[in-house]
Protein backbone atom coordinates (compact mmCIF):
# COMPACT_ATOMS: atom_id res chain seq x y z
CA UNK A 1 0.00 0.00 0.00
CA UNK A 2 1.45 3.37 -0.96
CA UNK A 3 0.80 6.79 0.58
CA UNK A 4 2.19 10.29 0.08
CA UNK A 5 3.61 12.59 2.76
CA UNK A 6 2.13 16.06 2.33
CA UNK A 7 2.60 19.47 3.95
CA UNK A 8 0.12 20.33 6.69
CA UNK A 9 0.82 23.79 8.12
CA UNK A 10 4.39 23.74 9.41
CA UNK A 11 4.32 19.95 9.70
CA UNK A 12 3.96 16.94 7.45
CA UNK A 13 0.99 14.59 7.30
CA UNK A 14 0.47 11.06 6.11
CA UNK A 15 -3.06 10.02 5.24
CA UNK A 16 -3.65 6.41 6.25
CA UNK A 17 -6.19 4.44 4.22
CA UNK A 18 -9.05 3.05 6.31
CA UNK A 19 -8.22 -0.45 5.04
CA UNK A 20 -4.73 -0.13 6.53
CA UNK A 21 -6.13 1.06 9.87
CA UNK A 22 -8.62 -1.78 9.95
CA UNK A 23 -6.03 -4.41 9.01
CA UNK A 24 -3.69 -3.18 11.76
CA UNK A 25 -6.48 -2.98 14.35
CA UNK A 26 -6.27 0.78 14.85
CA UNK A 27 -9.19 3.17 15.39
CA UNK A 28 -9.76 6.85 14.74
CA UNK A 29 -8.67 9.10 17.64
CA UNK A 30 -6.47 6.30 19.01
CA UNK A 31 -3.23 7.55 20.57
CA UNK A 32 -0.14 6.14 18.91
CA UNK A 33 3.59 6.40 19.41
CA UNK A 34 6.03 7.19 16.61
CA UNK A 35 9.34 5.35 16.83
CA UNK A 36 12.19 6.39 14.54
CA UNK A 37 14.71 3.61 14.01
CA UNK A 38 17.20 2.84 11.24
CA UNK A 39 15.74 5.39 8.86
CA UNK A 40 12.16 4.17 9.37
CA UNK A 41 9.15 5.63 11.15
CA UNK A 42 7.13 2.98 12.96
CA UNK A 43 3.62 3.68 14.26
CA UNK A 44 2.64 1.62 17.27
CA UNK A 45 -0.14 1.82 19.87
CA UNK A 46 0.60 3.94 22.92
CA UNK A 47 0.74 1.99 26.13
CA UNK A 48 -1.91 3.02 28.61
CA UNK A 49 0.04 3.86 31.72
CA UNK A 50 -2.04 4.06 34.86
CA UNK A 51 -0.75 5.40 38.12
CA UNK A 52 -2.08 4.83 41.60
CA UNK A 53 -1.18 6.90 44.61
CA UNK A 54 -0.15 3.77 46.52
CA UNK A 55 2.30 2.71 43.78
CA UNK A 56 3.75 6.22 43.49
CA UNK A 57 4.22 6.54 47.25
CA UNK A 58 5.80 3.07 47.39
CA UNK A 59 8.48 4.35 45.01
CA UNK A 60 9.66 7.04 47.41
CA UNK A 61 12.92 6.10 49.12
CA UNK A 62 15.47 7.95 51.20
CA UNK A 63 17.66 8.03 48.09
CA UNK A 64 15.17 9.82 45.83
CA UNK A 65 13.39 12.15 48.27
CA UNK A 66 14.50 15.58 49.38
CA UNK A 67 14.29 17.40 52.68
CA UNK A 68 11.81 20.15 53.39
CA UNK A 69 12.36 23.41 51.57
CA UNK A 70 11.25 26.81 52.84
CA UNK A 71 9.66 29.16 50.36
CA UNK A 72 9.48 31.96 52.93
CA UNK A 73 6.59 33.44 54.87
CA UNK A 74 3.08 33.59 53.38
CA UNK A 75 2.52 36.79 51.38
CA UNK A 76 -1.10 36.42 50.36
CA UNK A 77 -4.05 34.15 51.05
CA UNK A 78 -2.16 30.85 50.96
CA UNK A 79 -3.84 28.01 52.83
CA UNK A 80 -1.66 26.97 55.73
The confidence band for 37, taking pLDDT boundaries of 50, 70 and 90, is: very high
Q: Is the dihedral of CA 73, 77, 79, 80 positive or negative?
A: positive
Q: Please report the pLDDT score of residue 27 as a whole number.
A: 93
Q: What CATH class is the domain 5-47?
A: mainly beta
CA–chain centroid gap for 38, Å, is 22
Closest CA relative to residue 16, chosen from 32, 1, 36, 37 = 1
**pTM score:** 0.53
Q: Please report the pLDDT score of residue 59 as a whole number.
A: 93
What is the Cα–Cα distance from 14 to 39, expressed in whole angstroms? Answer: 17
Amino acid sequence: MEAVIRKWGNSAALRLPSAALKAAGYALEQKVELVVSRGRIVIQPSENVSYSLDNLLAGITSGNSHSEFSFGKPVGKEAL
